[in-house]
Structure 1
């Protein structure tokens, strides 16, 4: 319990104190990378929300499960504040990231449903929302998941997507630090895209939205080359959406197993970043879009 008390203090201290490239298992904007992880940090979120973080596709590819949840989405928002019965803690060590799942009594949460062929999906973004990682830590203990840590030094937020069998759960951001990145700017500088067309590694994707209004159903339609578009473990695509402060998280699946069409709803006005992931020519790419909802 002492360890979790320290984790909670560190988490509070952090909160108070404070494209085109898609390389193998992650997507990030081109920028210098620094290394030298020598800091261990641990943070948690009570409202929620491995094997090395790899460079090789055989270990760290983006991966999803059966399309049996098509048309559904997982997420967080104001309506779910305080209703989660699972706490998530992220511990960043020199060589690995550890995820700990606890119930309200501090007991390990280990009774999870398989969600798209994985017990746990881990989404990580940096504080600028430039870097984006979708990975799958391995279970290494009771309520414990681990993946190796090759992240560049920096400030990050983790979103853990799980389905506890008998407990309410809603994903919330869990901030953590890798290495010695200096001081966080806490400023994303996101600007809405003037055109919703993107090119990633020679492939193009165009986003059409049925509405830019908050609290209304929105259809996201992606126009891309479907000649060599194939399901990735049963799904035609996956969309992750974060608000500009990386507080509200949505993980959306297609309405069916044929079309790249997604249904969702934005709870509040503001700027949002959308990552749309598709498999073309055997390679998974993430297309990033920034939109303003009014």
Structure 2
């Protein structure tokens, strides 16, 4: 009897131990599955968060690029250091020919600026002679102007606004005649008297103190005589540095005053031509100023 009780107890113990071990295994398996599920969920959430960040970064970058493109407009093109348009100038027998092409050798469309699609500024290398012309289009990017240039060395500036293309006005060397194989250096002297008289019409230039990278006002006093409208304005101003390389074309700040604003990005000596129309004739008044 005692032996039977011992056997029953042993069987009960084995069964109990089996149940405990089985329950532990099931619990471990369930916990393992939960851990795997949690880890997988975490990875999914992590990927979703990463994709969301990347998508936001892409959207922000796209928005920034689009905004930059929209805000830059034409002035953004002017800021480019490299032009997307090439201009070539030739002179033969009293005819000036300007060839304007883009990188694909096509004729770019030019915007109208002050009633003209092209302003051609020609100055002698010593910055003494000055001409402002307006060539006309002949087709396929070709523009021509009949004009008798005296024998000399010149620098030519093709002032245009190609539509949706970057363009930087740069000097083009032009030699007219055989006796001018080398370009002369300018030797500008600062004007002590900023009053000039041409064709009996006097103009006086006064300025705010010319400084670097700040607005400078150029005021041209026409001595009580109102200048006539010229190319949609009361006057025009062209400025070159003493090397004849830095080109600035300035227009009036208002339709009622011969007042202009500009900026200088470096110190030096500059030549200023103020163009005003009196009695149907355009006079170009030259002034030499210093920017410190």
Q: TM-score, normalised by structure 1?
A: 0.70
Q: Which stretches in structure 2 are left out of the alignment for 5+ residues?
A: 1-74
Select the residue among 153, 156, 161 that pairs with 1:155.
153
Q: 2:87–2:98: 8 Å Cα contact kept in structure 1?
A: yes
Query: What's 2:12 paired with?
Result: none
CA shift digits 1:98-156 (9 cap, x unpaired)? 10111123x13231111111111100001110100000111112111011241011111
Distance 1:212 1:229 in 2: 25
CA shift digits 1:236-282 (9 cap, x unpaired)? 11000000111010110001100011010011111100000111233
Query: What's 2:277 paired with?
Result: 279
Deviation at 1:203, TM superposition (A): 1.3
Q: Which stretches in structure 1 are left out of the alignment for 5+ residues?
A: 1-73
Select the residue among 118, 121, 125 that pairs with 2:119.
121
Distance 1:202 1:164 in 2: 39
Select the residue among 153, 156, 167 that pairs with 1:169.
167
Q: 1:221–1:262: 8 Å Cα contact kept in structure 2?
A: yes
CA shift digits 1:204-263 (9 cap, x unpaired)? 111111122122110001111343422124201100000011101011000110001101
Higher strand proportion (structure 1 or 2): 1
Distance 2:259 2:185 in 1: 31
Query: What's 2:266 paired with?
Result: 268
Q: 1:100–1:108: 8 Å Cα contact kept in structure 2?
A: no
Higher helix proportion (structure 1 or 2): 2
RMSD: 1.9
Distance 1:256 1:228 in 2: 14
Structure ID, larger Rg:
2
Moved beyond 6 Å, runs of 4+: none
Query: What's 2:289 paired with?
Result: 291
Equivalent residues in 2 for 1:25-40 (5 A)? Answer: none
Equivalent residues in 2 for 1:214-293 (5 A)? Answer: 214-293=212-291
Q: TM-score, normalised by structure 2?
A: 0.70
Q: 1:223–1:260: 8 Å Cα contact kept in structure 2?
A: yes
Query: What's 1:194 paired with?
Result: 192
RCO comparison, higher one (Cα < 8 Å, 6+): 1
Distance change in 2, residues 1:148/1:161 (3 Å): same
Deviation at 1:185, TM superposition (A): 5.3
Distance 1:285 1:158 in 2: 20
